[in-house]
Amino acid sequence: MIAEPVSQHATPAEEAAFLDRVKKFVDDYVWPNSLAWENDQLPLDVFKRCAEIGLMQMTVPKNLGGHGYSCKAYAEACRLLATGDPALSMNVAAINALCTAHFVEFAHPEQREKYLPGCLSGDIQLAWGLTEPDAGSDARQVKTVAEPMADKPGYWKINGQKMFITNGGRAQLIIIIARTGEKELSAFLVETDQPGFKLTGRIPTVGVKASWTAQFELVDAVGWHTPCTFEQAIGLLQRGRVGIAAMALGIAERAQELALAYSKQREQFNRRLCDMQSVQNMLADSEMEIEAARLLVDKAARIYDDHGDVVKAASMAKLYSSETANRVTNRAIQIHGGRGMVPEHRVEKLWRDAKLTEIGEGCSEIQRMIIAKQALR
């Protein structure tokens, strides 16, 4: 008898159970604590808690110790997390799409054996380091240089600076994109517990404040090479952008939920706000844009899961969803009036958090460039 091939992907039932766990985690733990986290940072054990319910194993197939969830389930988890705390959503999205996925795609077995179990259990915290002072949207301008070590095959000496690295001040392991030749770039596993890794500070940000956004220097830091080209390494941004789009969707949904509830309860001129046509217009526009964003996110995730060309769909989902989140949160503040600017009403935080989605993993202008290039092919 021929054995059935074992699927490395989760079943629909496994994904449904996972998303139920994420929803409960958000309702019971993330949303109630999110305001307090903003004043400091995400709890130190948060990724272990995430790992317990499957959030750190989303993009890793079962044979490598993960859960093999679809892009649809990954996006749904990022959306749900963002309804509770966008900073946590951003971290989980980036770690899964750019870090653990990097191990799946480019690490060799020895590297996976050494690090992957700890990454999947949340014991090893991760970050992904591309951006530098002179290399942002124009990522190919990376100046960090890697040179092979003659006495240590597979290992390279790395020198340079990185900035805006999510979770970079807490990570034990960072995937560093560095220059390996005049025109070539590749990626390296860099342990932060070494003299060559010099954390130079935490960058304060207007939104996603609980996230540890780091800048650091690499001074003869030792990195373990994961063979891949620059295009392959940043190709992971396709699923990453679906995750950020879903994060933006979650922000918009929560803001709209709060705006709807407030508009039903607040009265002025002897009428509820929700009975005023100008307020209804704002609510209607937000409702429609959220629905359109949801369709774009779903479509991009479906194309990814079907192994289609997701470049245009991922950029459209990210662009539209992030701009929607910014419009919807702005309207939610407007509907709350003065109270919209008070933290306890929670919409001002969502508005500040939404801004990141228009900038991180490629700003809106870059998404428009990508979409236009695809359309003009």
Q: By the criterion CB under 6 A, which residues form the site for ligand FAD?
A: 94, 127-131, 136-137, 164-166, 205, 208, 213, 356, 359-363, 365, 369
CA distance 239 to 76: 13
Phi and psi torsions of 65, nearest 5°? 95, 0
| In the complex, minimum distance from the CB of residue 61 to ligand FAD, in angstroms, rounded to a whole number | 24
Q: How far is the CB of 227 from ligand FAD (least distance, A)?
A: 20
DSSP state of 64: G
CB of 94 to ligand FAD, least distance (A): 5
DSSP 107: -
The pair of three-digit structure tokens given for residue 103, joined into one six-digit string = 């191990």
Residue 21 C-beta: closest distance to ligand FAD, Å = 26
3-state helix, strand, coil in the chain (%, to 5): 55, 15, 30
Tokens, residue 326: 């910014």
Is residue 53 within 8 Å of residue 18, measured between CB atoms?
A: yes
Q: How far is the CB of 128 from ligand FAD (least distance, A)?
A: 5
**Considering beta carbons, is residue 102 or 336 the nearer one to ligand FAD?**
102
Query: Residue 338, Cβ neighbours under 10 Å: how many?
Result: 8
The CA-atom distances, in angstroms, between 72 and each of 112, 125, 279, 305 are 25, 24, 33, 7
Pick the closer one to ligand FAD by CB: 18 or 164: 164
Shortest Cβ distance from residue 25 to ligand FAD (Å)? Answer: 23
* Of 290 and 370, CB closest to ligand FAD: 370
Do 10 and 73 meet the contact criterion of CB atoms below 8 Å apart?
yes
Tell me which of 14, 344, 361, 365 is the catalytic residue.
361
Based on CB atoms, which residue is closest to ligand FAD, 253 or 358?
A: 358
Shortest Å distance, C-beta 295 to ligand FAD: 26
| Residue with Cβ nearer ligand FAD (175 or 293) | 175
For residue 87, which of 360, 375, 274, 289 has the smallest C-alpha distance? Answer: 360
- Helices and strands per DSSP (H, E), number in the chain: 13, 9
Closer residue to ligand FAD in complex, CB, 97/347: 97
d(CA 105, CA 114): 16
Known catalytic membership, residue 361: yes
Nearer to ligand FAD, 39 or 270 (CB): 39
In Å, what is the CA distance from 88 to each residue of 26, 54, 142, 216? 10, 14, 27, 22
- Residue closest to ligand FAD, measured at CB: 136
Strands (E), 192-283: 197-202, 213-226, 267-268, 271-272
For the chain, first and last CA: distance in Å?
A: 49
Strands 126-129, 173-179: pairing kind: parallel
| CA dihedral for 47, 238, 254, 70, sign (positive or negative) | negative
Q: Which residues are catalytic?
A: 361
